[in-house]
Amino acid sequence: MLATSDIHAAEGRESEVEEKKSAEEVEEKKEKKNFGVFCDERGYLDQIELIMQQGRRKGDRTGTGVLSVFGAQARYSLRDQFPLLTTKRVFWKGILEELLWFIKITRDEALTSCRTSSTPSKRTRRTGGSSCVLGTPKVRHAPRLKYSLNCHMHRFYSFEKEKNIYISSPGAAADLPLMALPPCHALCQFYVCDGELSCQLYQRSGDMGLGVPFNIASYALLTYMIAHITGLSPGDFVHTLGDAHIYVNHTEPLKIQLQREIRPFPKLKILRKVESIDDFRAEDFEICDYNPHPAIKMQMAV
């Protein structure tokens, strides 16, 4: 039979083990973030962490492999700031030139571009966009974006009556068999309230490492442009993603980005009064106080 002192000693050791186990469980829970509303650059980085922690491993069309979550949303304020990420340098000139090209391109130019390229263009590879942006689907239907903007533009002026304006996908269902990929940018909704213009994009699929920073800035720029010519103030850009994914070969570069300190977003100035959406020129825009960390190289999956 054990002595009373031995029994107490054994119980003490068991208590210490339980306490240690409880402390470890608490620390483990602390390490797992509870994610809420994703806002501005912190929201983007939290989305990256969420996908790394909770994303499911799956295959993809490129054979690279991704971590993916289905359904994600982040909000970016456009009030006196412009959402160009600061934890890595984002190629502003490429974003600006690409959007102006989408707005100005004619049907003949689009068809020529489509016939001469079945893969993502050099511009896409240089800017870090995805084939959903400058590959066959969007190039083929870029004139539809211009047509939709021109058709709906008058409605922005009557914002007391018109609270929501929708611009559907640049592609069409009948053309899906002709496309290398279905369009990623499925629906764009503009919302007017209290003299502010906000935009929400529903994006079918988003490459969080390379494509999404580009998409955020591109649609923020489009919102600024429309707000300028309609006399409204920029409000919010809401980015809703279907398949939000990280390519497995981007995880290490993104870990570096997550360690960097967030800096204030820059400001965007429009330097002259522009009356029409397709009259904007690259020299009309100035990014001020952009002080990002250095660029981070990530290999593009094609």
State the catalytic residues: 184
- Can you read off the two tokens belonging to residue 182? 């279905």
Question: 174 φ, ψ to 5°?
Answer: -65, -25
- Can you read off the two tokens belonging to residue 271? 């330097």
Q: How many CB atoms lie within 10 A of CB 28?
A: 9
Ordered DSSP codes for 214-247: HHHHHHHHHHHHHHHHHT-EEEEEEEEEEEEEEE
Contacts of 98 (CB under 8 A, 6+ apart): 123, 127, 129, 133, 134, 218
Q: Closest Cα partner for 120 from 219, 222, 214?
A: 214
Contacts of 177 (CB under 8 A, 6+ apart): none
How many Å apart are CA 265 and CA 288, to the nearest integer?
Answer: 9
Question: 243 φ, ψ to 5°?
Answer: -90, 100
**Beta strand 164-168 with 66-77: parallel, antiparallel or unpaired?**
unpaired
Contacts of 27 (CB under 8 A, 6+ apart): none
Identify any residues that bridge with 236 across adjacent strands, giving them in sequence order: 77
Can you give the length of the chain in residues?
Answer: 302
How many Å apart are CA 99 and CA 28, to the nearest integer?
Answer: 45
Identify any residues that bridge with 238 across adjacent strands, giving them in sequence order: 75, 200
